[in-house]
Amino acid sequence: MALLKAVKAPHETRTRILDAAEELFMQHGFEGTSMRLLTGRAGVNLAAVNYHFGSKDALIEAVFRRRLDPMNAGRLAALERLEKEAAGRALAPEAIIRAFIGESLRMIEDTRGGGRNFIRLLGRTYTEPAKPIRVLIGQLYAPVMERYKAALERALPQMPRDELVWRMHFMFGTLSYTLAATDTVQLIAGVKPEDRYDARLLEERLSVFLAAGLDAPLKSTVKKAA
Amino acid sequence: MALLKAVKAPHETRTRILDAAEELFMQHGFEGTSMRLLTGRAGVNLAAVNYHFGSKDALIEAVFRRRLDPMNAGRLAALERLEKEAAGRALAPEAIIRAFIGESLRMIEDTRGGGRNFIRLLGRTYTEPAKPIRVLIGQLYAPVMERYKAALERALPQMPRDELVWRMHFMFGTLSYTLAATDTVQLIAGVKPEDRYDARLLEERLSVFLAAGLDAPLKSTVKKAA
DNA sequence: AGTAGATTCAAACGTTCGTTTGAACCGAGC
DNA sequence: GCTCGGTTCAAACGAACGTTTGAATCTACT
C-alpha cells in the first residue's frame, strides 16, 4: 500500500544536507560555505545538492523554510492562545513580548536538533546583504509581524503608531543581535559562559528589558539643545 | 624639501578605493564584492588594491580603521566631557547612552562623505562570520566598551554586574540593528520614509527606549511557571 | 635633459567556485 | 529475471576569484 512506501530514512540525504548547511552557513556565511565543504561535511556526493534542491540558492531557501515556517506558526499560535485566555481583556505588553521571543529562545537550548545553529544563523541573516535572501525573510515574517503589531496596538492604545513601529524595530533588533552575536563578537567582557545558553534566564532578562523600553513614557516635547 | 612633496590629492587612489569599498561592502558584503567590481567602481586599475593595501583583507581592515578610530575617540571624548561637566556628581544613565549612540547617529546624516555607508556596513559586521574581522572589531571596540561599562557601573551602583553586562549587550544590539537594517529588512511596515534618516528623531527614540530598558526594575525572584 | 622612485597598466597566473554530465547503482513492480 | 524511476557517483565544465608580473607612465629633484 501507499502507506508503507519508503519506510527507512525517507529523505536522509536531504536532511543531512540541510543540517550541514545550517551549521556551516552559521559558521562561515553563505558565500563562505562552498558546496565541496558542505557536501563533505554532510557525507554526500558533491552533486547531491543540485540534484535534491536544484541550486545553492534554493538550498538556502530550504534551510530557512524548514525552521521558520513552524517557528512562525508557533508564534501565531502562542499569541492566539494568549488572547483566548485573556477572553477580551487587554493583554499585558510583556506577555506579548514573551510570546514572541520565547519561540526563538526555546530553540537555542536545542543542541541536539541543530535548532541553536539555525537561530544564530537567523540572527545573522537580518543584516544579510544578498537581496534574494532579504526578500525571502521578509516574506516569511510578514504575517507574523502584522499580527503582533496589531496585538501591541491593542495593548498600548495610547501610543502613537509611529512610535510603536520604531519600538518594535528596536525590540526585534535586540532579539536578533542577542541571538546572533553574543558568542561571536564579544564586545563587552563579563558574560558568564554558563549564562549564555540559558534560555530561561535570557528570556527573563530580555523581556524585562524590552517591556520597559516598550512602555517608556514619551517625552512630549523634543528638548532643544544649545 | 620633503615638506612639499605630493601636493595635489595626496592619496587620491587610496581614498577612491576606500570609498568604493565602503559602499560595495555594505551593499554586497565582503565576499560578495569582487576586486574587479570594486576597482571598476573606484575607477582605478585592478592591481591598485594590492599595490596600496597589500590584499583584500588588509583593505577591509583599512576601511574599518579609517572611520572607527576617530568614531571611538569621539565616544571617549564625549564621555569625558560629560564627566567633567558633572564635576563628581552621578551621571544620568540616559546621558551616557546619548553620548554613545550620538556619535554613530551623526554619521548617518552624512550622505556626502559616505559616513552613512560606513555606519550601515558596521551594523552588518557585528554578525559577520569571518573570524579575522570579528577579532579586529573586538580589538577596536574594547577600550571604549570598558570605559562605558565603568561609567554605567557608577551611574547604576545598585545594579548587579551580570545584569548590567547583558543590558549593555541588548543596547548595543538595538543600536547596531537599527543602523544596519532600517532599509533592508523592512519586517515591520509603517516606518515613515522621511523619519528613517532623521538622526535627531532617531536619537530621541532610541535613547528613551534604551534608558527605560537599562533602568528597568529587577524582578527579585524568577517566577516559576507551571 | 636626465634619472630614480612611485604609481598605473594590461595581461596572465593558478585556484576555487557552482553546476552539469553520463555512467553506475539501487530497490521495488510486472 | 528483468526493467525502470530514483539516486549516487567520479569527473569534468566554463566562469570568476584574488593575486602577481613586468613593462609603461608619471612626478619630482639634480
Q: What pLDDT digit, counting tens, does each position of B19-59 carry?
A: 999 999 998 999 999 999 999 999 999 999 999 999 999 99
Task: Please give the pLDDT value at position B151.
Answer: 96
Proportion of chain A in helix, strand, coil states, percent, rounded to 5: 70, 0, 30
Report the distance separating Cα B38 and Cα B25, nearest Å. 9
Query: In a 3-state reduction of DSSP, which class is residue A196?
Result: coil
Task: Please give the pLDDT value at position A10.
Answer: 64
Q: Per-residue confidence at A3, pLDDT binned at 50, 70, 90?
A: very low
B66 CA, C3 C1': separation in Å? 36
Closest CA relative to residue A183, chosen from B146, B169, B101, B143: B169
Chain A nearest CA to B142, separation (Å): 6
Residues A123-174: tens digit of each pLDDT? 888 877 788 888 888 889 999 999 999 999 999 999 999 899 999 999 988 9
Q: What is the mean pLDDT of chain B?
A: 86
Task: Please give the pLDDT value at position A149.
Answer: 95
Cβ-proximal residues to A31 (8 Å cutoff; 6+ apart), any chain: B29, B31, B32
Phi/psi at B69 (5° precision): -60, -55
Q: What is the mean pLDDT of chain A?
A: 86
List of B residues 41-100 with CB within 7 A of strand C: 44-48, 51-52
Cα separation values, A33 from A13, A24, B128, B182, Å? 18, 6, 13, 27
Task: Please give the pLDDT value at position B220.
Answer: 58
Chain D positions within 7 A of any protein Cβ atom are 7-12, 16-22, 27-29
Would you say A35 and A42 are in contact if contact means Cβ atoms under 8 Å apart? no
Cβ–Cβ gap B145/A189 under 8 Å: yes
Cβ–Cβ gap A127/B184 under 8 Å: yes
Cβ–Cβ gap A149/B26 under 8 Å: no
Dihedral sign computed on CA atoms, order A38, A42, A46, A48: negative
Report the distance separating Cα B212 and Cα B92, nearest Å. 12
Report the distance separating Cα B100 and Cα B110, nearest Å. 18
Say whether pLDDT at B120 is over 90. no
Would you say A89 and A97 are in contact if contact means Cβ atoms under 8 Å apart? no
Residues A53-87: tens digit of each pLDDT? 999 999 999 999 999 999 999 999 999 999 999 99
Cβ–Cβ gap B168/A188 under 8 Å: yes
- Between residues B127 and A33, the one the model is more confident about: A33
pTM exceeds 0.85, yes or no: yes
Cβ–Cβ gap A166/B222 under 8 Å: no
The minimal CB distance from B177 to the residues A173, A192, A222 is found for A173
Task: Evaluate if the CB of A192 falls below 7 Å from strand C.
Answer: no
Identify residue B43 by its one-letter amino acid code: G
Residues B126-153: tens digit of each pLDDT? 877 788 888 888 899 999 999 999 999 9
Residue that has been written with the C-alpha cell 577612491 in this structure: B16
**What letter would DSSP give residue B188?**
S
Report the distance separating Cα A63 and Cα A51, nearest Å. 16
Comparing alpha-carbon positions, the chain B residue that sits nearest to A25 is B129
Mean pLDDT of A2-30: 78
The minimal CB distance from B212 to the residues A31, A165, A216 is found for A216
Cα separation values, B85 from A131, B74, B79, B104, B149, Å? 47, 16, 10, 22, 19
A13 CA, D11 C1': separation in Å? 21
| Helix and strand element counts for chain B (H, E) | 9, 0
Comparing alpha-carbon positions, the chain A residue that sits nearest to B201 is A222
Cell of A79: 499569541
Does residue B135 sit at the A interface (CB-CB below 8 Å)? Answer: no
Task: Evaluate if the CB of A36 falls below 7 Å from strand C.
Answer: yes
**What letter would DSSP give residue A129?**
-
Residue that has been written with the C-alpha cell 541571538 in this structure: A179
List of A residues 59-98 with CB within 7 A of strand C: none
When mean pLDDT is compared over B15-24, B98-107, B120-129, the highest value belongs to B15-24
Q: Per-residue confidence at A21, pLDDT binned at 50, 70, 90?
A: very high
Cell of A225: 539643545
Task: Please give the pLDDT value at position B9.
Answer: 59
Cell of B93: 544613565
Report the distance separating Cα A205 and Cα A209, nearest Å. 6
Closest CA relative to residue A189, chosen from B161, B118, B214, B115: B161
Residues B179-190: tens digit of each pLDDT? 887 565 566 777
Say whether pLDDT at B76 is over 70. yes
Task: Please give the pLDDT value at position A11.
Answer: 81
Does residue B46 sit at the A interface (CB-CB below 8 Å)? Answer: no
Considering only CA atoms, name the residue closest to the C1' of nucleotide C20.
Answer: A47
Cα separation values, B194 from A222, B187, B201, Å? 17, 17, 11
